[in-house]
Amino acid sequence: MRPGRPSDDTKGTSRPSSSSSADRPVQVDELPDGWEAATRYHRLKRTLPRHLRQEVEARAVDTIVRRAKHLLRHAARPTRSVTVPFPGDGDLDLEATLEQPRPWRAVDVILRRTEAKNADVVLILDMSLSMTGEKIALTALAAAILKLRLEHVAVVQFDTDARALVQAGESIHVRELVRRIVTVPAQGYTNIEAGLRVGLTQLSRGRLRERVGILMTDGIANTGGNPVDIAGEYPRLHVVQVGSMERQGTRTCTAMANAGQGRRYCAIIYPQLPTVVRQLVRDCFSA
């Protein structure tokens, strides 16, 4: 935290006084901080000079990363138990060893160790015109939670078209991942099919046996083809339905999750999204 700045959960930080003249340049100490910086960044970046825009961006990223770490402070990383050949780095599995036929040889000694479980994951984000303010901040927060728990996370954003924000295999810090998301302009229509196609391309470049797609959308596509068809090409696709729970969106999200042999999760209001993502990680990647 920078000296003289309030904590990241402080809302309603310093603002220009009502007596300020309309043409007086904004000062650094008048910029929003904490969660307010994260939610107001998209509106402010259009009017602030570059150096102040970069300051608000840095504050927004700081806040989102701190909140993600705070939400995960009691959540253990997903792990799995693996068999290790003797001699190796592991603990003796006495019961399994005793089950081996006698006389025992060195190769019959069974060792086990606990290691982090992982998967190649592609996160597919709806960043169409309705995604502004707090919605973008919370989507970035959900992505940060995934990145902090899973090493291999590609990110795709879509509106009318789709593109990769983080390529499969690209190694970046969680701060950079958040920065790329919060700086995406909210624009265009909702082409879920395009997002799923680019996501599938990214997932195909993964090297791990377990590959998972996670789609975050309200499910209401207004351009592109039928997303359910492409959802069926995923080895596993989970759908987080966010915002609107309209019948059309619910049907589409349910159909995509079923086609992708995954689950449909719901975040009826955007503030529920980080908790839903944390639950998804626990349910889908824990042993």
pLDDT digits over 99-124, tens only? Answer: 777 777 777 777 787 666 678 899 99
Helix axes 134-149, 174-182, angle to 10 degrees: 160
Residue type for position 225: G
Instruction: Answer whether residue 12 shows pLDDT above 70.
Output: no
Using an 8 Å Cβ cutoff, are 213 and 260 in contact? yes
Tokens of 53: 């825009």
* Long-range CB contacts (within 8 A, 24+) of 75-79: 75/149, 75/278, 75/281, 75/282, 77/116, 77/149, 78/116, 78/117, 78/118, 78/149, 78/281, 78/282, 78/285, 78/286, 78/287, 79/114, 79/115, 79/116, 79/117, 79/286, 79/287
Quick: pLDDT tens for 150-195. Answer: 878 999 999 999 999 999 989 899 999 999 999 988 789 999 999 9
Could you tell me how many residues make up the chain? 287
CA dihedral 164, 168, 170, 171 (to 10 degrees): 120
Q: How many CA atoms lie within 13 A of 13 on its CB side?
A: 22
Tokens of 241: 């339905």
pTM of the model: 0.77
pLDDT confidence of 284, banded at 50, 70, 90?
low
